[in-house]
Amino acid sequence: MTHLTSRLRDLASPRALICTAVVAIILFTGAHPATAQPFSVPDREPNVNLRWDRYYDYDQMTEALRTLVDAYPQFLTMESIGQSWEGRDIWVVTVNNPETGDHTEKPAFYSDANIHGNEIQGTEVTLYMIWFLMENYPYMEKVREIVDNRVFYLIPTMNPDARQVFFDQGGPTRSGTRPFDSDGDGRESEDPPQDLTGNKEILQMRKYTPGEGTHMVSPIDDRLMIVAPPGERGDYTLLGSEGEDLDGDGRRNEDGIGGYDMNRNFPGDWQPMHIQGGSHWYPFSHPETRAVGNFLKSRTNIAGLQSWHNAGGMILRGPGSQYYRGTGEYTNRDVRTYDYLGERGALMLPYYRYWTVWADLYTVYGGTLDWAHDALGVMGFTNELWSTNQLYQGHWDSDGPIPDEMQQLFFSDRLGMGAWFHEWEEYEHAELGTVEIGGWSKWFGRTTVPFMIQEMLHRNAMFALFHADEMPLLEFDRTSVERIAGNTWRVTAEIRNHRAIPTRIEAAEINRVGQPDYFRISGNNLEAQVGGFTSGQLNDEIAIADGPPAEIMVESGVLGLSTVSVTWIVTGSGSATIEYESMKGGVHRTTVQLQ
């Protein structure tokens, strides 16, 4: 039984899981009451005073990033990895302490956000995570440990064009803004929804058609529309989103902005559009996905991945398809590690469910997670930020004083003072005559309401930091030198992984992804005669490895919460350098004396 399996078994009981969550909260809040700082003792102004009860459009986000980078130049760098379809920079911020090593020699955590234009909250989670790490680095031991031993590559928005469309007008902006022929008429994106009233919202239209409509006003509240009962006609016809027939084909809004899905455009089990809608012409066919793909391939030290979406309150892992490798599941060894992270994440995020994409949600071909797992050897999650269950904190009672149909309106009226529902107002439509426009605001439903934003940001950022903290953390556990005879020595070295994620997940080993780990020994006056893995009941034997004796390949890496020990027979004198090199675990060196 591996160390990780044993630990998972020991922690499997509900009481143990709750205790583990409490310990995690203590660790991530930094138990140093004597030191005042803006988190555990929140009585001072932060160094960078960003607001966490609002959302930032692209220009405001860029300004916030530059403010953070300017405030913390030792730790933060900001660069563009490419441009969007409309030419906006796709920014990545690197968080690294160069005094503890180059960013390429440390395990790296990657996150992206806002791949779907109307799923905006992940940008703010990214900003918050950068801010939290920097503000608390001087004061919290746990934050210092994470920043000093890891590197972060953080992309606040993958889809800046559609993000800006959401802020400017709202509407269905899941896609990017690259023109696409969604209705097959040979023209591209020529009939999108329109903000007819100029209030930066795409609301709903209805028309009063007495005795001829499909809907009627709800007897509970005249803002609500209900379908007319069978055999009856209502007084209103619902007309869909605001807009006019811009292409003269008798339809409205049928060929909107974009029309593709960038989270179906990655190479992992990619399928053409007749199988997977939105996948586009081929993997990485968009400038945004191509820029992100090239970046991920260039950072082979990435060991953890997080993609921020909305909504529904989910922590999702792959695989995306039930047909994945004929089983619909990753290997047991990898699943144990995913479960270790995901189950604890569900405790940190009330009203979120830890799910598998295809089994619990829907099938996704060409998604980020499967490509990261299979082609990059990286364990990743997609968090669907915000759950409407958080509105009532589990206290809504269907038999209570407020009818179920009024759940959202009750929340908007009582906790939002009516801010998130637009009353129906008459509008003279160029084609339809007098209609009424109103309904739910873009700032309600998928987006977290302002007074609950910071809690959402903090809980999800802490899950990401928990994931990052569980990336491989290697340390030489012990080394020994024993003289055999003359200048011939037995040298033993053991490397320990103090965290749950292995230096090489099993999918990477099976798929031959990247380089395996290596143990090496070198010295000016040293020659390795034999090298291999330490074996035998007394650890006094050597399972001789293939290849040059000075370089021992560790195909499976160091499993979570485990060790790997090797032994060399060498000849020579003086000092010897022992190195353990791992793509996901970093480069570690120690020195022994042959004496």
One-character DSSP codes across 90-149: EEEEEE--GGG--GGGS-EEEEEE-SSTT--HHHHHHHHHHHHHHHHTTT-HHHHHHHHH
Residue 586 lies in a domain: yes
Mean pLDDT (the chain, rounded): 93
Percent of the chain with pLDDT over 70: 93
The predicted-structure confidence for 512-542, as pLDDT tens digits, reads as follows 999 999 999 999 999 999 999 999 999 999 9
Rounded to an integer, what distance in angstroms lies between the CA atom of residue 207 and that of residue 554? 70
More confident position, 3 or 425: 425
pLDDT band at 41 (very low <50, low <70, confident <90, very high): low
pLDDT at 399: 84
Residue 279 lies in a domain: yes
Asked whether residue 251 falls in the same domain as residue 331, the answer is: no
pTM for this structure? 0.91
Instruction: Give residue 519's domain range.
Output: 474-594
Asked whether residue 501 falls in the same domain as residue 358, the answer is: no
Asked whether residue 282 falls in the same domain as residue 427, the answer is: no
Q: Is the pLDDT of residue 119 over 90?
A: yes
Residue 352 lies in a domain: yes
Q: Is the pLDDT of residue 375 over 60?
A: yes
Q: What is the CATH number of the domain that holds 576?
A: 2.60.40.10
Q: Is the pLDDT of residue 150 over 80?
A: yes
Residue 174 lies in a domain: no
Number of H helices, E strands in the chain: 12, 23
Asked whether residue 368 falls in the same domain as residue 268, the answer is: yes
Residue 391 lies in a domain: no
The predicted-structure confidence for 461-491, as pLDDT tens digits, reads as follows 999 999 999 999 999 999 999 999 999 999 9
Asked whether residue 504 falls in the same domain as residue 432, the answer is: no
Rounded to an integer, what distance in angstroms lies between the CA atom of residue 350 and that of residue 55? 22
**Structurally, how many domains does the chain consist of?**
3
Asked whether residue 252 falls in the same domain as residue 264, the answer is: no
Asked whether residue 191 falls in the same domain as residue 276, the answer is: no
Rounded to an integer, what distance in angstroms lies between the CA atom of residue 370 and that of residue 267? 9
Residue 172 lies in a domain: no
More confident position, 88 or 404: 88
- How far is CA 24 from each of CA 5, 18, 66, 104, 453, rounded to the nearest angstrom? 20, 10, 31, 28, 22
Q: Is the pLDDT of residue 20 over 50?
A: no
Phi, psi for 244 (deg, rounded to 5):
-120, 165
Q: Kindly calculate the radius of gyration of the chain based on its CA atoms and give it in whole angstroms.
A: 28
pLDDT band at 271 (very low <50, low <70, confident <90, very high): very high
Q: What is the CATH number of the domain that holds 117?
A: 3.40.630.10
Asked whether residue 572 falls in the same domain as residue 489, the answer is: yes
Asked whether residue 363 falls in the same domain as residue 310, the answer is: yes
pLDDT band at 273 (very low <50, low <70, confident <90, very high): very high
Identity at 369, one-letter amino acid code: L
The predicted-structure confidence for 305-354, as pLDDT tens digits, reads as follows 999 999 999 999 999 999 999 999 999 999 999 999 999 999 999 999 99
Query: Which of 154-163, 218-227, 388-397, 410-419 is predicted with the least confidence, judged by mean pLDDT?
Result: 388-397
Asked whether residue 267 falls in the same domain as residue 239, the answer is: no
Residue 175 lies in a domain: no
Asked whether residue 552 falls in the same domain as residue 526, the answer is: yes
Asked whether residue 348 falls in the same domain as residue 281, the answer is: yes
pLDDT band at 394 (very low <50, low <70, confident <90, very high): confident
pLDDT at 392: 83
Residue 162 lies in a domain: yes
